[in-house]
Amino acid sequence: MHPKPCDEDLAHFNLVMILALACLLSEISASAPLHLQLTGPNMAYLKTRVVYRCFAPDSAPTVTYKLIKDKRFPIATHIGHKWNWNATFSLKVKASSDGSYRCEATAGGTSGVSNSIRLAVVIPASNTRVTSDPSPPVAYEGSRVLLSCEVDRGSHLYFTWYFNRKEIISGFNLSGNKLVMERVTLGNAGNYYCIAWSAVQDIRRFSTSTEVKVSVKVYVSKPKISFSLFKVGDGYRGNITCWALRGSLPVNFSLLLDDKELGSITATESLSACFDVAVVIGLDMGDARCRVKTEVQDLKSDPVTLEVVPVGGDVNLQVDYLYAAGAELAAARMNCRISRGTFPLFSWLFNNSVLPSEDRHVEFVLSQPGPGDPSQTLILTKLSPKHSGYYQCSARDSYDPSGSWVQSAAVLVHITDQIRYLKPQGASPKETPQQVLLSPFESISLLFCCFFLLMLGVAVLCVCKMFHQDSTNISSLNPPSLHLSEPESHAGTLQAPALSAVQNQAPEMTPEE
């Protein structure tokens, strides 16, 4: 059976359409761009090598690759075949290698462009050092100190600071390569150094600086002045001491007499200096001051009159008794004061024996006389009847062992068990503190109550007197009965003992009896 002519024409038509479609697909595939992929590092150390790979899957058998820098500079060319479509580019990293890289490829009349990779060239740190502001790093408390970690070369760096060989994690203001101390203290003084480092993947490179010592100075406090006297042959010399409680060395001390400088000493080991001057007893030589100078300070002490007054005049001994909260006698305080004397030496006597005695039967505390205070206080801290007796004090010039003594009159200190516990007769120990210790509010309340009772008593007395006058007027009109006089006479007898009892109790309220 032979095919029909129309069937043959249809078959030829289908074949032509298939061939046309194949040609069209071939042209479309030939004109489609290549899909490229570029891989490689984005950071690399200077003078190392980097490798970039460019790949075009499903491309023509032969592909030409080009590695382009910054979109216009071709770096290398590679021809790939169907058995190896990858293009590998190996580059030595230079300072000029920093930039953006991409891959371009052509195959069979088509082309394509890959993704871009930004390469950063990392330069390791070198010649790391610490600089300071101020320089050298010496500052006073409360001032600002800035430390910088500087390098000669380096990029993409990180900085780590160390204080006294320990890494600084907190407590300081760290910003970039700067370490800032806004208000330094003595605790900030010490040794500092820094490490500048960089990292590429897992590789780190370090550069360490040398240590820099930061010194923190203390401002000098207001100077003080004192002087003592000693005998040299037939004359006297004064030892004037200038000192400060705090400050950083070195400092310069100078002695001024009526604002004229007598001498100057630079102190390098301690905050004090001594000056030796000739002194005439009884002569006012003027006002002495100490002056201290640093590079930022100039201070003067309070003035001291440079005059030595011999001990003399009256000697007054005063005794005070000190009580505890429970009205118990706790101590006896004796103050010995002389009329005049710049450098007194005191001595105490108990029953004509000098204190401290060998048996130390008296427990006492002595205060030291201060400059310009010609007095001394002795406090008996433990009291018993055996401490009763006569106490005296005497004084002489401390700089003259052969000088004469001036002495106070003897004062009797009488201590008994009754005096040690002061409380009214008939009162229990628990009631004593309430009668002895009153707060100001309680005292005002008690005074107000007494005043109110007094006014109430006066009012009652006035009312009674009015009733008494009325009864007298009535009795003048009516003859009084004799039996009414007895109760009045009896009431008068009852009031007298009551008043007597109040008068007898009055001395018992005095705690000193």
User: Which carries the bigger pLDDT value, residue 184 or residue 5?
Assistant: 184
Secondary structure class of 32 (helix, strand, coil): coil
Q: What is the pLDDT of residues 357-373, one digit of tens each?
A: 554 545 566 666 555 56
| 265 or 6, which is more confident | 265
Q: How many CB atoms lie within 10 A of CB 156?
A: 16
Least confidently predicted of 284-298, 376-390, 497-511: 497-511
pLDDT of residue 259: 94
- In what helix (H) or strand (E) does residue 263 lie, and over which residues does it extend? strand 260-267
pLDDT tier, 492 (very low <50, low <70, confident <90, very high otherwise): very low
Could you give the CA distance from residue 15 to residue 24 in angstroms, rounded to a whole number? Answer: 14
Per-residue pLDDT, 349:
93
- % of the chain exceeding 70 in pLDDT: 75
Q: Higher pLDDT residue, 158 or 437?
A: 158
pLDDT category of residue 12 using cuts at 50, 70 and 90:
low
Q: Which two tokens stand for residue 209?
A: 């600086």
Q: Map tokens 């030829």 to a residue.
A: 12
Q: Dump pLDDT digits (tens) for 384-393.
A: 788 889 999 9
Residue 240 burial class via C-beta count within 10 angstroms: exposed 0-12, middle 13-18, buried 19 and up: buried
Query: pLDDT confidence of 184, banded at 50, 70, 90?
Result: very high
Residue 182: C-alpha distances to residues 141, 149, 185, 295, 297 (Å): 10, 17, 10, 21, 21
Q: Is the pLDDT of residue 153 over 70?
A: yes
Q: Which two tokens stand for residue 187?
A: 């605790």
Q: How many CB atoms neighbour CB 122 within 10 A? A: 20
Q: How far from 233 is each of 132, 230, 237, 403, CA to CA, in Å?
A: 58, 10, 10, 15
- pLDDT, tens only, 399-436: 888 889 999 999 998 887 655 544 433 333 333 333 34
DSSP β-bridge partners for residue 113: 104
Q: Is the pLDDT of residue 2 over 70?
A: no
Which tens digit of pLDDT belongs to each residue from 106-127? Answer: 877 788 899 999 999 999 999 9
Does the pLDDT at position 379 exceed 70? Answer: yes
Continuous segment of H or E residues that includes residue 8: helix 5-31
Half-sphere exposure of 507 (CA within 13 A, CB side): 3
Average pLDDT, the chain: 80
Q: What was the pLDDT predicted at 62?
A: 80
Asked whether the predicted pLDDT for residue 301 surpasses 80, the reply is yes
* Cα 384 versus chain centre, distance: 47
pLDDT of residue 6: 55
For the segment 63-80, the average pLDDT, to the nearest whole number, is: 87
pLDDT digits (tens, 9 = 90+) for 213-250: 999 999 999 999 998 898 888 889 999 999 999 999 99
Higher pLDDT pick, 496 / 193 = 193
Residue holding tokens 């052969």?
402
pTM: 0.59
Average pLDDT over every residue of 453-473: 76
The pLDDT of residue 511: 33
pLDDT tens for 15-38 read 666 766 655 444 444 455 778 899
Instruction: Please state, in angstroms and rounded to a whole number, the distance separating the CA atoms of residues 379 and 331.
Output: 7
pLDDT at 159: 97
Supply the DSSP string of 230-264, one letter for each residue: EEETTEEEEEEEEE-SS--S-EEEEEEETTEEEEE
What's residue 136's pLDDT? 94
Mean pLDDT along residues 322-334: 84
Numbers of helices and strands, H then E, in the chain: 5, 36
